[in-house]
Amino acid sequence: MPENYRIAIVGAGSLRGKELNEALGESAFAASDFVLLDDESSLGKVEAVGDEVTVVQMIDPQSFDHADFVFFAGDAGNTLKHWKSASRSGASILDLTYALEGEPDVLVRSPWVREELNGLSSGKATPDLRTPAIVPAHPAAVALALLLLRVKKVGPVASAWATVLEPATEHGRSAMDELHQQTISLLSFQPLPKETYDAQVAFNLLPVLGEEAKVDLGATELRIRRHYGLLSGGGLPQVSVQLIHAPVFHGYGISLGIELEQPASVEELEAALTGEHVDVVLGDQDAPSNLSTAGEEDIMVRVRGEEGRQRFWIWAAADNLKLSALNAVACALELRKLRPQGKVQ
């Protein structure tokens, strides 16, 4: 019989919050009592969680009373403002905004990666009832960790390097809307709005944004590297990462190059990569893309080799919001094992 938990989602009206609503409604938490919270811009909106319809409410001092889990999925400022109040209620905190990753004893997690490491990183900290919060790892770091973990099955990795193409939705609705408006403005020869990016991102690939940008690509690139290192715990190959902002609304693209210490075949790599959470596309038809992965739960990959049988290219694509939400739910399921059973807290 499913446990009846009380779950609060702060930032329920955000893109990530909406995706999280859907993921929770299709998970073992579907029978829970959900409280959807946000700032004034989303008040009164009706959202579906599983088979239930819930109205988005304003955050107040009583919002977290009796909550078992509180997900922060909107603005980082709201996370910093309200997380201690949520923690005092006795709830397990999951921060999808990354605002808390610098707080003492907060852990960055991906249960998918942990399960496949099979104890290689057994010295890493694991959550317990004293853990103040969990930060579900960045989706690009999760994807890289899963792929390189499986590549290791073929043989030792001499070197690895990745270019990560980031979509606008990774930075919320304002970033998505500005990309949309820039596209329209360029096609109609109008001035470009630049409040979010302080640069032209439409029809453009950028490694750095304007000085006044509200999006910090450098900080995101460092986060991907840091989260990968934390997930690895020394058990995965080192990888060099470069982040590029792509003029797309949705979905990550990752170009991952690897050099093995010994020869291998494309078929061996394809077999090693195949498994839970990863869908290997064989041949040249239906190659993975940010469009083909929209709404999909798996990371889709395509493998190509260079002459010499030791260097390979792995092209991966994933729905960034879906991957983030599913990892957060997996983290909550991990925390659920630590909580008292049989009642709403």
Coil/strand/helix, residue 135: strand
d(CA 174, CA 172): 6
What is the DSSP code string of 147-190? Answer: HHHHHTTTS-EEEEEEEEEEPGGGG-HHHHHHHHHHHHHHHTT-
CATH 3.30.360.10 segments of the chain: 141-320
pLDDT of residue 130: 83
d(CA 263, CA 131): 44
Burial letters 28-51, b for 16+ CB under 10 A, else e: ebeebbbbbbbbeebeeeebebbe
Residue with tokens 């190059």: 257
Positive or negative: CA dihedral 311, 317, 321, 324: negative
pLDDT of residue 342: 46
∠ CA 34-76-209, nearest 5°, is: 135
Give the model confidence (pLDDT) of 46-80 as tens digits: 566 666 667 788 888 788 999 999 999 999 999 99
Looking at the domain covering 141-320, what would its CATH class be?
Answer: alpha beta
CATH 3.40.50.720 segments of the chain: 6-137+325-336
Segment (H or E) for 15 = helix 15-25
d(CA 57, CA 76): 18
Q: Is the domain defined by 6-137+325-336 classed in CATH 3.20.20.300?
A: no
Positions of the chain with pLDDT under 50: 1, 122, 342-345
Phi-psi domain of 155 (left: phi exceeds 0; alpha: psi -120 through 50; beta: other): left
pLDDT of residue 50: 61
Give the model confidence (pLDDT) of 201-258 as tens digits: 999 999 999 999 999 999 999 999 999 999 998 899 999 999 999 999 999 999 999 9
d(CA 269, CA 165): 23
∠ CA 293-224-290, nearest 5°, is: 15
What is the DSSP code string of 247-282? Answer: S-SS-EEEEEEEEESS---HHHHHHHH-BTTEEEPP
Q: In what order do the strands lie in the sheet with 157-166?
A: 240-245, 157-166, 252-260, 311-318, 299-305, 278-280
pLDDT of residue 296: 95
Burial letters 119-152, b for 16+ CB under 10 A, else e: ebbeebeebeeebbbbbbbbbbbbbbbbbbbbbb
